[in-house]
Amino acid sequence: MTAVSLVVTVIVFVCLMAGAVGGMWLRVALPQHHLGSDSTDVIKLATGLMGTLAALVLSLLISSANSTHNAVESEYQQGLADIVRLNGNLADYGKETDEIRAQLRHAVAGSFQAIWPSEDFGPPEPAGAAIEKAIREIEKQILALAPESRAQTWFQTRALANLATVAQIRWVFVGQMRSHALPTLVLVVLILWTTAIFVSFGLLTKRNPTVFVSLTIAAAAVAGAIFLILELDNPFRGLIQISSAPAHMALALLGQ
């Protein structure tokens, strides 16, 4: 994901700088009466309007992406807690659940391997549909248990509740990893808006090193905002990804 984010960020930066340079070229090419006080006032008003719209959209997108990132991280932590509790309830039920716990560990390891393919979560496990099939099989085996006491009945009930929560959270992960907080159309519109703004910047200023450096910093800031949105869009990839350390700890607990 980071590679894609960097490519998009570079494209945004290049478009903005090209707009600024194009505006400077237009300043030289246009007849002088096109840059009179009345014309520049209108250009400034239009630039201010587009700048306000672009800033509003960028701030909303960053806030939305950050909220989604935090929500997924919270669901992730809750899912790990339920997995550990499910394993504990099965262990407390008795030795009859040893095979179910082994299947649970294989299914969980497969999920972690799908989320963090470059990390070591043990031998390769089935992923995708195979994990869903394993979860359904575990549910059937828990339902097939024959409790001999009230305590075992309670642990069976709690295990089923934990498993239902784990399955629900897994679908949240799957849906989130396939969604995107920044649709392509929104990105294109943002690039057009900000490029037009930088064209007006170049149009209203004379070329000199100070102006060029200022516009470069501004373009880098806008491109950086796009980069943050793209990185926050996928919590399990990139530079701002959710830590896999709790997942390793949970898997270690399942092996006990």
d(CA 117, CA 96): 33
pLDDT average, residue stretch 192-219: 90
pLDDT average, residue stretch 174-183: 61
d(CA 86, CA 69): 25
Whole-number pLDDT of residue 181: 57
| Higher pLDDT, residue 219 or 131 | 219
Of the candidates 22, 76, 30, the residue with the CA atom closest to the CA atom of residue 195: 22
**Residues belonging to the chain:** 256
Whole-number pLDDT of residue 76: 85
Which residue type occupies 113? Q
Of the candidates 202, 181, 200, the residue with the CA atom closest to the CA atom of residue 58: 181
d(CA 121, CA 188): 39
pLDDT bracket for residue 127 (50, 70, 90): low
pLDDT average, residue stretch 200-216: 88
pLDDT bracket for residue 130 (50, 70, 90): low
pLDDT bracket for residue 214 (50, 70, 90): very high
Whole-number pLDDT of residue 116: 81
143 alpha-carbon distance from chain centroid = 36
What are the pLDDT digits (tens) for 135-174?
888 889 999 988 889 999 999 999 999 888 877 766 666 6
Residue 233 near residue 65, CB atoms below 8 Å: yes
Whole-number pLDDT of residue 41: 86
Q: Is the pLDDT score of 204 beyond 90?
A: no
pLDDT bracket for residue 197 (50, 70, 90): very high
What are the pLDDT digits (tens) for 2-58?
788 899 999 999 999 999 999 888 888 878 777 778 788 888 898 899 999 999 999
Domain spans in the chain, listed from the N-terminal domain onward: 2-93+148-254
Residue 107 near residue 135, CB atoms below 8 Å: yes
d(CA 49, CA 37): 18
What are the pLDDT digits (tens) for 92-124?
998 989 898 988 888 888 888 877 888 888 777
Q: Is the pLDDT score of 128 beyond 60?
A: no
| Higher pLDDT, residue 197 or 1 | 197
Beta carbons within 8 Å of 51's beta carbon, 6+ residues apart: 197
Q: Is the pLDDT score of 176 beyond 70?
A: no
Q: What is the signed CA dihedral for 109, 111, 114, 120, rounded to 10 degrees?
A: -20
Whole-number pLDDT of residue 223: 94
Distances (CA, A) of 208 to 23, 31, 142, 152, 215: 13, 21, 74, 79, 11
Whole-number pLDDT of residue 220: 95
